[in-house]
């Protein structure tokens, strides 16, 4: 790392020792090897890397277009393209250097049974933790996302909890009525941590053709456009789970050190970087340095002192 106060950036995330609060988000760096080809980048620059979403069987993903740049973000509808969990565990994981950073598996599925199968397979692997993507459509209930229903979310978490001893991180969807209630139910079911938030659903339209730009018609919106929503959701989840000391990986539009700091103030223990990597692959060192400078400027010894330090304004009823 380039910062001069690296020890102050260390974070404990449900037992994982992170040298930096930065986590590279699932789907943005492949299976952990993509950005190692960029001169000046190292996996050791970040505290953890979430691997690409993995399903029980190989998936080809959605038809093109899959990605579309918006004014202040990005729409994507990749469709969970991946080679399947057996290939990931048997062929991809052995090629990763697990001394560089923590690698976190990302589990996706169309049924609870598929979530269990993939989680169980990763349990017998060297990944440090397992992130459950509950934003996937439940094929047994008409395609409604598991993560938009607290009862279904809890059922997925409980089923995965039963087959792994590794830390479970539940990735919460913002596309639901009450994210705090969902978080509470997932804690009861055995979640050790949360990622908040997943992408917001959006659409882009080609006015000349009068058709959606994205081949899947709709996609997940990420980037700076969703940051205000993500900050609020992280705050709401933190308020719901702080008595249980459940850590949160805050994410949604982080593109500089100030963004990362704001998420931690709202309750995040670590922060996820994703869309920003597409236009600045070396942004992590800059964010690490900026956080370190902030800590020194404010006389703080550790980045952990920022978590949940938000002072809410008192209502002024006149």
Other Cβ atoms closer than 10 A to 154: 22
Strand partners, 133: 171
Would you give the distance in Å from CA 207 to the centre of its chain? 33
Which among 62, 78, 64 is positioned nearest to 25, based on CA atoms?
A: 78
Helix pair angle (283-297, 257-265), 10° resolution: 60
Is 284 one of the catalytic residues? no
Q: Is the dihedral of CA 18, 32, 277, 64 positive or negative?
A: negative
The tokens of 312 are what? Answer: 């809410």
Which among 115, 110, 249, 134 is positioned nearest to 182, based on CA atoms?
A: 134
The tokens of 93 are what? Answer: 């994981």
Say which of 14, 28, 50, 136 is annotated catalytic.
136
Measured distance CA(108)–CA(86) in Å, rounded: 14
Which among 218, 122, 236 is positioned nearest to 174, based on CA atoms?
A: 236
Residues contacting 314, CB < 8 A, separation 6+: none
Max Cα–Cα distance, the chain, nearest Å: 65
Residue 120 CB burial class (10 angstroms; 0-12, 13-18, ≥19): middle
Residues contacting 196, CB < 8 A, separation 6+: 171, 172, 174, 179, 230, 233, 234, 237, 248, 249, 250, 251, 252, 268
Strand partners, 212: 205
Which are the catalytic amino acids? 136
């Amino acid at each position: 790392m380039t910062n001069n106060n690296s020890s102050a950036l260390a974070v404990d995330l449900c037992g994982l020792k992170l040298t930096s609060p930065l986590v590279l988000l699932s789907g943005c760096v492949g299976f952990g090897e993509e950005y190692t080809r960029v001169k000046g980048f190292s996996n050791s620059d970040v505290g953890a890397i979430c691997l690409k979403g993995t399903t029980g069987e190989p998936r080809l993903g959605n038809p093109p277009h899959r990605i579309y740049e918006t004014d202040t973000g990005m729409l994507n509808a990749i469709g969970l393209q991946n080679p399947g969990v057996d290939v990931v565990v048997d062929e991809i994981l052995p090629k990763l250097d697990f001394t560089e950073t923590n690698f976190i598996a990302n589990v996706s599925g169309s049924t609870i049974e598929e979530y269990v199968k993939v989680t169980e397979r990763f349990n017998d692997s060297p990944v440090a933790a397992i992130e459950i993507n509950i934003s996937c459509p439940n094929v047994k209930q008409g395609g409604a996302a598991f993560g938009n229903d607290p009862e279904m979310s809890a059922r997925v978490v409980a089923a995965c909890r039963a087959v792994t001893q590794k830390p479970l991180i539940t990735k919460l969807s913002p596309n639901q009525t009450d994210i705090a209630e969902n978080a509470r139910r997932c804690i009861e079911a055995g979640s050790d941590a949360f990622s908040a938030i997943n992408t917001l659903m959006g659409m882009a339209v080609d006015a000349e053709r009068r058709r959606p730009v994205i081949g899947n018609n709709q996609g997940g919106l990420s980037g700076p456009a969703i940051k205000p929503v993500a900050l609020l959701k992280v705050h709401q989840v933190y308020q719901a789970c702080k008595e249980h000391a459940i850590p949160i990986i805050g994410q949604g539009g982080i593109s500089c050190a100030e963004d990362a700091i704001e998420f931690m103030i709202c309750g995040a223990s670590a922060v996820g970087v994703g869309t920003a990597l597409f236009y600045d692959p070396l942004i992590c060192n800059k964010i690490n340095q900026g956080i370190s400078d902030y800590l020194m400027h404010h006389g703080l010894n550790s980045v952990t002192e920022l978590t949940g330090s938000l002072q809410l304004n008192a209502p002024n009823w006149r």
